[in-house]
Amino acid sequence: MALTDHHVVVLGGTSGIGLATADLAARQGARVTIASSRPESAERALAALPAGTAAEVADLTDSAQVAALFERLGPLDHLVYTAGDPLALMTVDTMDLDAARAFFAVRYFGALDAVRAAAPRLRPGGSVTLTSGIAGLRPLPGWSVAASVCGAVEALVRALAVELAPLRVNAVRAGVIRTPLWSSLPEADREQLYAQTAAALPIGRVGAPEDTAEAFVHLMGQRFTTGTVLTVDGGGLLA
């Protein structure tokens, strides 16, 4: 049990990749705390997670709430940030800048603020793992905002790995995974996306949250890796 007695905090741990990561970490012996901005999401996730998991409620775009969250949590060993609203896909000619800023507020500035608040409380040997996506390297039309966030997060990982050393800072770069990330698409469009993506991938299927969770847990335990972005995409960058 590689994570026995480690305190793992998963921000965004109530659904999708975050929920799967919280579950796997708990099953590997960790004491897990999840956090969400919605009390009902936290309660629903707790019912699905192993006994002993704790939940907190905080708006991750509110710096005061983030600071108070980590004050309550105290010392921790690993921070995982998977929080994010469904994808905001928009072309430049129809772009809503307020929506674009909101997308950055959760996925980039939320992550940066969480690291700022957590870093003084992370024990020696601890780690931070953020979330990126292959859109940063292979964007499609309409992905300018989403791809920009991915690029910003990956640059942040490299900078923080230097600034916060010897604390380890990494990210997981995910491909197409069946999660609520795609819930803004109509169901028929979503299933068509999954089918077309699976047909193009060397692996022959889109990812499950559990596939990506294994990468997050691996980076918690891999003590000689920092400033790295681990790709989990079924070969999406090759397709």
Residue ranges in the chain whose pLDDT is less than 70: 1, 88
Predicted local distance difference test score (pLDDT) of residue 27: 96
Given 15, 36, 41, 132, the catalytic residue: 132
DSSP code at position 138:
S
State the residue for tokens 């559990």: 210
- Which string of b and e fits 68-101 if b means at least 16 CB within 10 Å? ebbeebeebbbbbbbbbbebbbbeeeeeeeeebe
Quick one: pLDDT at residue 206?
A: 95
List pLDDT tens digits, range 87-128: 768 889 988 999 889 989 999 999 999 999 999 999 999 999
Q: Which amino acid is at 130?
A: L
3-state secondary structure of 36: strand
- pTM for the structure as a whole: 0.95
Is 132 annotated as catalytic? yes
Percent helix, percent strand, percent coil in the chain, to nearest 5: 50, 20, 35
Determine the Cα–Cα distance for residues 158 and 228; give it in Å rounded to an integer: 7
pLDDT on residue 1: 63
